[in-house]
Amino acid sequence: MNVGIIGSGTMGSGIAQVAATSGCQVKLYDTNQAALDKSKAALEKVLTRLVEKGRIDSAEKTRIQSHITYINSLKDLGDSNLTIEAIVENIEIKKAVFSELETYMADDAIIASNTSSLSIASIASALKRPERCIGIHFFNPAPLMKLVEVIPAIQTSEAVLKQATQIISDWKKTVAVAKDTPGFIVNRVARPFYGEALRIYEEGIADFATIDWSMKTIGKFRMGPFELMDFIGNDVNYTVTETVFTAFYFDPRYKPSFTQKRFSEAGYLGRKSGKGYYDYSEGAVKVEPHTNETLGQAICDRILVMLINEAADALFLNIASAVDIDNAMTKGVNYPKGLLEWADEKGIAWCVEQLDALYDSYHEDRYRCSPLLRKMSALNLKFH
């Protein structure tokens, strides 16, 4: 199969590696020659490391490399059966590229976008045959992260959804099909992991280190919310929250935090700037958490129940199936357990009780319990 990739940055390069590893002939296109050179050099480095670790042999390395051609003319993507775009997150630029690309491609070729935040329906509208357009959303780093969200637009044909799902499964990825709504599954359902942690801090309930400790030690998450925000970058994480908030017509549930905005404005971006919620400079003193089990449990329960509420509401609104919502969080962001599975384990009645208690104290819409949880609790049902 011939695969075209547009944009040889972080995501495009990773997706090209995935497709080439699965035996596809890949053409990787970028307008910037330096980006193409960098991508080629980065692949050489990654594959050399895999050979050193014994994960692949050098013949396999050569085979993968020989499957990728680096090109600087969009026209050369004309023979691709599937093209995935991973360029700058700008709707007008994406639409212009899609509309030109279509003039070179066969009528039955699929045109996909790796966008994280733009509407697939809007991108598809730039095409003469919008039914061939679909969202194929990888996670960073694409070769390592198991999850791929596949997002049909309202224009997308059933056949294209089926083909795209098959191709991505053939690439040994777990597909979660999501509705074309802001944040798809992961970037929507994960919001409270950051937002509620920031809120707990703002209320003075605990400091960053204690909240992180609670989520790691009690919740068994790989990273705490503040460590993770520092890792992602406060600027990037803040922008995603703000985009989701705006796209949801300012639903208070996704309201961004002033704390994070100020950290971002101050240049306290996290690891990449040497300082965020933690200090990453040489010799910095590590801040110790308050390891109080009762406090830690309360913090963890509050963030967890907000995540569960978000997952339940995504199911309620048919954003994805229960299985896909759980897979999305375990395979897209490495959660220790699927959120709906977790809800079953904790008990749906417990979730409703926790959310109602939060709502009773704050009277904020942010803490409204999903109607699905309430209904399931009344009927004594489980998600799985």
Catalytic residues: 116, 137, 149, 187
- Does position 274 bind ligand NAI by CB under 6 A? no
Overall residue count recorded for the chain in this entry: 384
Output 112 or 312, the one with its CB closest to ligand NAI.
112
User: Number of residues in contact with ligand NAI, rule: CB under 6 A?
Assistant: 23
Q: What's the closest the beta carbon of residue 366 comes to ligand NAI, in angstroms?
A: 26
Stretch that binds ligand NAI, among 9-17, 153-161, 301-309, 347-355 (CB under 6 A): 9-17
- Does position 296 bind ligand NAI by CB under 6 A? no
Output 6 or 319, the one with its CB closest to ligand NAI.
6
Stretch that binds ligand NAI, among 113-121, 244-252, 332-340, 346-354 (CB under 6 A): 113-121
Output 84 or 358, the one with its CB closest to ligand NAI.
84
Contact with ligand NAI (CB under 6 A): which of 8, 83, 181, 243? Answer: 8
Residues 6+ apart with CB under 8 A from 98: 85, 111, 113, 123, 126, 127, 133
Distances (CA, A) of 50 to 8, 28, 53, 283: 21, 21, 5, 33
Q: Where are the beta strands (DSSP E) in the chain?
A: 2-6, 25-29, 68-71, 82-85, 110-113, 133-138, 147-152, 174-177
Q: What's the closest the beta carbon of residue 137 comes to ligand NAI, in angstroms?
A: 6
Q: Which candidate, 125, 135, 155, places its Cα nearest to that of 82?
A: 135
- Does position 256 bind ligand NAI by CB under 6 A? no
Q: What's the closest the beta carbon of residue 272 comes to ligand NAI, in angstroms?
A: 13
- Does position 89 bind ligand NAI by CB under 6 A? yes
- The answer to whether 106 and 93 are in contact (CB under 8 A) is no
Strand 25-29, strand 174-177: pairing? unpaired
Residues 6+ apart with CB under 8 A from 115: 85, 89, 94, 123, 135, 137
Within 134-163, the residues that bind ligand NAI by CB under 6 A are 137-138, 140
- Does position 12 bind ligand NAI by CB under 6 A? yes
Position closest to ligand NAI via CB: 9
What tokens appear for 294 in the block? Answer: 């009762």
- Does position 168 bind ligand NAI by CB under 6 A? no
SS3 assignment, position 26: strand
Contact with ligand NAI (CB under 6 A): which of 5, 87, 112, 343? Answer: 87
Contact with ligand NAI (CB under 6 A): which of 3, 6, 110, 178? Answer: 6
- The answer to whether 272 and 254 are in contact (CB under 8 A) is no
- The answer to whether 245 and 209 are in contact (CB under 8 A) is no
What tokens appear for 4 in the block? Answer: 């075209």
Contact with ligand NAI (CB under 6 A): which of 59, 88, 285, 379? Answer: 88
- Does position 93 bind ligand NAI by CB under 6 A? yes
Output 138 or 194, the one with its CB closest to ligand NAI.
138
Q: What's the closest the beta carbon of residue 52 comes to ligand NAI, in angstroms?
A: 26
Q: What is the DSSP letter of 71?
A: E
Q: Which candidate, 140, 204, 203, 147, places its Cα nearest to that of 172?
A: 147
Contact with ligand NAI (CB under 6 A): which of 16, 28, 35, 134? Answer: 35
**What is the distance of C-alpha 31 from the center of its chain?**
26
Residues 6+ apart with CB under 8 A from 231: 223, 270, 271
Contact with ligand NAI (CB under 6 A): which of 43, 97, 176, 240? Answer: 97
Q: What's the closest the beta carbon of residue 331 comes to ligand NAI, in angstroms?
A: 14
Contact with ligand NAI (CB under 6 A): which of 2, 10, 321, 334? Answer: 10
Stretch that binds ligand NAI, among 76-84, 110-118, 174-182, 310-318 (CB under 6 A): 110-118
Output 213 or 245, the one with its CB closest to ligand NAI.
245
- The answer to whether 14 and 138 are in contact (CB under 8 A) is yes
Q: Which candidate, 197, 195, 192, places its Cα nearest to that of 209?
A: 197
Binding site for ligand NAI (CB under 6 A): 6-12, 30-32, 35, 86-89, 93, 97, 114-116, 137-138, 140
